Amino acid sequence: MVALPKHIEAEESYLHGGGILSWLTTIDHKRIAVLYGVTVLFFFLAGGIEALLMRIQLARPDNTFLSAYLYNEMFTMHGTTMIFLVVMPAGLGFFANFVVPLQIGARDVAFPRLNALSYWIFLFGAIVLNVGWLYNMAPDAGWFGYANLTESYYSPGLNINLWTLGLLISGVGSVLAGINLLTTVINMRAPGMTFMRLPLFVWSMMVMFVLILVAFPPLTVGLIFLAMDRFFGTHFYRVVAGATPLLWQHLFWLFGHPEVYIMALPAFGIISEITPTFSRKPLYGYPAMAYSTALIGFLSYGVWAHHMFAVGMGPAADSAFALTSMLIAIPTGIKIFSWIATMWGGDLKMKTPLMYAIAFVIQFTMGGLSGIMHAQPPVDLQQTDSYFVVAHFHYVLFGGTAFALLGGLYYWWPKITGRLLNEKLGRLQFWTMVVGFNLTFFPMHLLGAEGMPRRIYRFSPHMGWDSVNLLCTIGAFIMAASVAILLINILLTMRDGELAGPDPWDGRGLEWKIPSPPPAYNFSTIPIVRSRDQFWHDKYGYESGVVPPAPLPAHENEDSGHIHMPAPSIYPLLLALGITMAVVGMLDWLRVALCGAALTLFCAIAMAFEYREAGSENPEAVGIFTGLDNRKVGVWSFIASESLFFASLIATYLVYKGRDLGGPTAETILEMPLVIGTTFILLMSSVTMVLAQEGYRRGDRTWGLRWLFLTIFFGSVFLAGQVFEFHTFYTEGMSLGTNLFSQTFYTMVGFHGAHVAIGVIILLSLVGASFTDWFKERHRDIAVECAALYWHFVDIVWIVIFSIVYLMRSIAKA
């Protein structure tokens, strides 16, 4: 057992005590991981039932088990559920939340309340996505929602509205989780844990967090355009207005292919933890594995258009994206080689986690080989929208990612619960899953090669697909039986499982150094890391002839005898509820939207004032390696993500400018004198913000308040000028839906104005905080600095928008 410090402000175990209220208000990363896990399991069962219903429909020709409309709902929600509500949150919410802080030697995540907020936003978004089932109006346009199928003319009901708003809400939660966990890895590593000593699971998750920040903004912009088309009469995707449906495909797949690796990278990390542990060898080729992980993240953002070879982009674009699609196989191949080399010659312990790891390597390789085939445009044109593609991505995402996630569940279950899953049931569940999976999806390669298209809900008997489809359906039910065995195993283990102890697998990472389940504070003493696999060396020493690294100085909090854990809070739950109400109010419930906005504003300010622990009284708020406060790293991460958001808006404007089919244009309606004046005022606000920051840094509250008030005034004047400009445009005949210029202009400039308004609210909150004892010196300086970073970012974005929209248009007019 770990010796406890003299004074601990935390409960003994995150699993014990409290009741339902403690789970609603928890900000413990381990409890939040459990909440994610239970939610993911529920939606995994829901998505599996949807898949079974589809397979029953396709078990025989001319089946009438499901209607065409209901089948469309099933395959749309099956894909949406498995992608957005199962695989991605399993990696991001469940495994990352639980394991990453333990592996880096941290007591918690960087922003515990933000962590809870991320979960509740995800949950409410998932509910919005599925509430259509209650009204027989579930989304039915396919999980990637191609335009123009999602336009009101083709889908006039509530279904696509719910799909759009649900994804917008859950996407906010994903981005917040990415910011939080990326900050945690960058800033809260134990002393001595350099990047080249990070566990490979943490490496994989870190790249995944970066991908979330750069991949979700294009999807958010695409969903905003879709919501505006459906709610406000714009035409971002309609050809008759001069637009193109391909805009949605570009925005969606700019998210969609990084999303493949957002789902796959946790699997890579899990396998990189399982194989060394059960081979009793260090991971082979650690540096190459780390660099290849980063390279996968980099290349994944440059291959999106291989999903669009059939749309007619031209030979140059096809060749470029074919090349990048084949290049990404190189770092993936390095990983597969490393896993095999790690197991080769090792003392293999054939437990269920390793069996899943071996199955992952085989099946993911099979899926990757068919993916290389799709990287070639001539082959892709033959196979696109056929069941060959269905087989490919299920081998990657289920036979690969889901198998790794199941292996990770068996691997870390003892750490989560303190009990081992039953090994005999685990082996039975594994073999039924392997047989069922391959029986379901391997024959789909044959169906695709024989011409069976995706998304059809029935087929004629003379097509020759009868027996193969029946085989696929039998395999699906074998997989369902495997999932049932897993549930039985979980229930039995929770009630009467074998006690695991701290280190049941003879593991290598720091998570196995502490009790199972871990205490609320994780580590009674912050560990010191002197090498990779530090815990393994602690147990067995260093190999003969290897000189251990020199000892590091003790962490300043190591022997303080005091562990301060942040208190639970109800505000994350209420804030998530407010955000959901504000977004769902777009369904023509103005009062709900206004109440949600008010609740959001109140809870955001209350939660910020409640969070005292990030100040100077919490030493772990400042990174050992970076010397930066967590909040500064978080703000920089947020700015990086928002930069991609505005880049997507600006890129859309550049694509659509000059394609108007009628109505006023920029050359006839823009008023430069007003905009030059408001632009100068906004830029001056950055100067006054710097002066305010300097005043607070010197401890001169009067000076700081004076310039802070002037910054707020300048920001308000800019917003007033923007409102006046919008009103003038409207009176001159340019409404939101007039033409493509009006749509992109109002959207881009309007969202920038919303960011300015949020900045004004933040500064007003700082003014209020200046008159309270909450505003201690360290807390004050960092809060003002973070607000300044955000304000300067907003100003820089406006410089870009002003140059592109106003200045270039005026030069062109002249």
**Each residue's pLDDT tens digit, 689-736:** 999 988 888 878 888 889 999 999 999 999 999 999 888 888 887 888
796 and 647 share one domain: yes
DSSP letter string over 440-464? Answer: HHHHHHHHHHTTPBTT-S---GGGS
Is 772 within the bounds of a domain?
yes
Average pLDDT over residues 210-218: 95
Is 556 within the bounds of a domain?
no
pLDDT (0 to 100) of residue 402: 94
Cα distance between residue 94 and residue 693, in whole Å: 39
Which residues 6+ apart lie within 8 Å of 41 measured at CB?
none
Residue type, 491: L
Last residue of a domain, one of 494, 518, 546: 494
pLDDT confidence of 2, banded at 50, 70, 90?
very low
pLDDT (0 to 100) of residue 128: 95
Is 769 within the bounds of a domain?
yes
pLDDT higher than 70, residue 312? yes
417 and 487 share one domain: yes
385 and 300 share one domain: no
Query: pLDDT tens across 469-492, in order?
Result: 999 999 999 999 999 999 999 999
Whether the CB-CB separation of 467 and 57 falls below 8 Å is answered with no
342 and 361 share one domain: no
pLDDT (0 to 100) of residue 148: 86
367 and 473 share one domain: yes
Is 352 within the bounds of a domain?
no
Q: In Å, how far are 7, 309, 739, 812 from 239, measured between CA atoms?
A: 67, 20, 12, 26
Is 691 within the bounds of a domain?
yes
pLDDT (0 to 100) of residue 666: 59
Is 590 within the bounds of a domain?
no
Q: What share of the chain is helix, strand, coil (3-state, %, to 5)?
A: 70, 0, 25
268 and 404 share one domain: no
334 and 363 share one domain: no
Cα distance between residue 306 and residue 638, in whole Å: 29
Cα distance between residue 233 and residue 169, in whole Å: 22
- Among the residue ranges 48-62, 288-302, 437-451, 763-777, the one predicted with the least confidence is 763-777
pLDDT (0 to 100) of residue 5: 39
272 and 207 share one domain: yes
Query: pLDDT tens across 519-535, in order?
Result: 888 888 889 998 888 88
Range of the domain at 227: 201-234+241-313+324-347
Average pLDDT over residues 36-49: 97
Eight-class DSSP state of 421 = P
Average pLDDT over residues 662-680: 76
pLDDT (0 to 100) of residue 775: 63
Instruction: Quote the Cα angle for 710-713-714, to 5°.
Output: 90
pLDDT higher than 60, residue 656? yes
pLDDT (0 to 100) of residue 10: 40
279 and 402 share one domain: no
Average pLDDT over residues 17-45: 92
pLDDT higher than 80, residue 558? no
Last residue of a domain, one of 442, 463, 494: 494
297 and 437 share one domain: no
pLDDT (0 to 100) of residue 808: 76
- Of all residues in the chain, the percent with pLDDT exceeding 90 is 64
Is 761 within the bounds of a domain?
yes
**Mean pLDDT, the chain, as a whole number?**
88
pLDDT higher than 70, residue 380? yes
Average pLDDT over residues 21-38: 94
Cα distance between residue 502 and residue 489, in whole Å: 21
303 and 367 share one domain: no
Q: What is the CATH number of the domain that holds 687?
A: 1.20.120.80
Say how many C-beta atoms besides its own lie within 10 A of residue 450's C-beta. Answer: 14
Average pLDDT over residues 364-372: 91
pLDDT (0 to 100) of residue 703: 85
pLDDT higher than 80, residue 672? no
Is 610 within the bounds of a domain?
no
pLDDT confidence of 559, banded at 50, 70, 90?
very low
331 and 382 share one domain: no
pLDDT (0 to 100) of residue 150: 92
pLDDT confidence of 546, banded at 50, 70, 90?
low
Count the residues in the chain: 814
Number of domains in the chain: 3
pLDDT (0 to 100) of residue 8: 39
Q: Helices marked H in 280-351 — which ranges?
A: 286-300, 315-327, 329-343
Query: pLDDT tens across 756-774, in order?
Result: 999 999 999 888 887 776 6
Average pLDDT over residues 497-515: 90
